[in-house]
Amino acid sequence: GMSGTALADAAGIGTIEIKAMKDHGYPIDAAVGVTAASATLGPIFPPSLPFVIYGMMANVSIGALFMAGILPGVVMTVLMMVTVAIFAYRRGWGSDTPFELRRLAEAAGEVLVVAAFPLACYLLVQLGLSINIAVGIALLVLIAADWYFDFSAVMALMTPIILIGGMTMGWFTPTEAAMAAVIWSLFLGLVRYRTMTLRLLAKASFDTIETTASVLFIVTAASIFAWLLTVSQAAQLFSTFIFALTDNKWIFLILVNILMLVVGCFLDTIAAITILVPILLPVAAVYGINPVHFGLIMTLNLMIGLLHPPLGMVLFVLSRVAKLSVERTTMAILPWLVPLIVALLLITFIPVITLWLPAQMGLIR
């Protein structure tokens, strides 16, 4: 999920995931379904490109959006894990691979090491050290521990901590946070893991330039579109139309969910956000819906829209990656829409799942 986009996760990591699951006895259809469902997590857990675009269009704190995505991401993860467990138990998936508690404990231990970093910073601050010194000490200890124990993923997992922590503490703007994440990633690729070559670095740079340029063109066109909507008072007319249908915000959110699920199937995520935010957000504000909560609902709907037929882009990406027909890929993905829809309903109708963490961090009121 570090790419921040569902399509990149499906196309990039999906190749590795599908092969690994096939090698461990999972049917190709199961591998495709799990990969498709997990790809929707990328833009929900930080960092997230759709959150950045939504924050720009809605004038909402990107740091608040990043923090708001964590608990919904956990909810989605748990629901998908339960779904995998049910299918695996009933159909005997992965029965050739014994459960190894030791490997699970090792992975959990590395996650706890990463989680201990912000806790250590907090405790050092409580002891009277400045936040800068506390972070410096904690980072030096972490680097020393990584060198001594040779962790597999601790340093890579620190990337979102640096990204979110820097913005939350006010050290970085979103643009500066992206630069800090790039520098950290270069350090990991060139120095720590030594898996990045100059050829790979050049390819990544050109891919980034291409993606950034295309996004900026979309944002430019959408900004002109938003100006036209303002001048023509289209948003006000749409608001009046919606209020004529219902004055209940929950019914409004149901209508938004239906609209966004359909739009997500036919329209690029970035284009959908930049076009629809100027129309829908003013209406949501009238209903008293928090813009951060609305951003999570919109993003998750668009991610699910990428999975469902007839034109969900992830269908075509995974069809090519797994070398399956689009029809078979569609049938493989359909069961995984159930936990995603359940997660969407929970996130829509229980706003505290989204808003609790950023409120505790003081990012929203």
Predicted confidence at residue 339, as pLDDT, reads 92
Please report which confidence band the pLDDT of residue 229 belongs to, taking 50, 70 and 90 as the band edges: low
The 10s digit of each residue's pLDDT in 290-314 is 999 999 999 999 989 888 877 777 8
Distance CA 158, CA 151 (A): 12
Domain boundaries, the chain: 6-99+207-360
What DSSP letter does each residue of 259-273 carry, written as one string? HHHHHHHHS-HHHHH
Among 32-36, 37-41, 310-314, 327-331, the minimum mean pLDDT is found in: 310-314
User: Do 30 and 18 form a contact (C-beta atoms < 8 A)?
Assistant: no
What is the rounded average pLDDT of the residues 137-148?
89
* Pairs from 185-190 (Cβ < 8 Å, separation ≥ 24): 185/159, 188/155, 188/156, 188/159
Q: By C-alpha distance, which of 272, 294, 299 is closest to 364?
A: 294
- Which amino acid would we find at residue 80? M
Mean of the pLDDT values across residues 18-25? 77
| Span 50-87, pLDDT tens digits | 898 899 888 898 888 988 998 999 999 999 989 888 88
| Other beta carbons within 10 Å of 345 | 12
Higher pLDDT, 308 or 128: 128
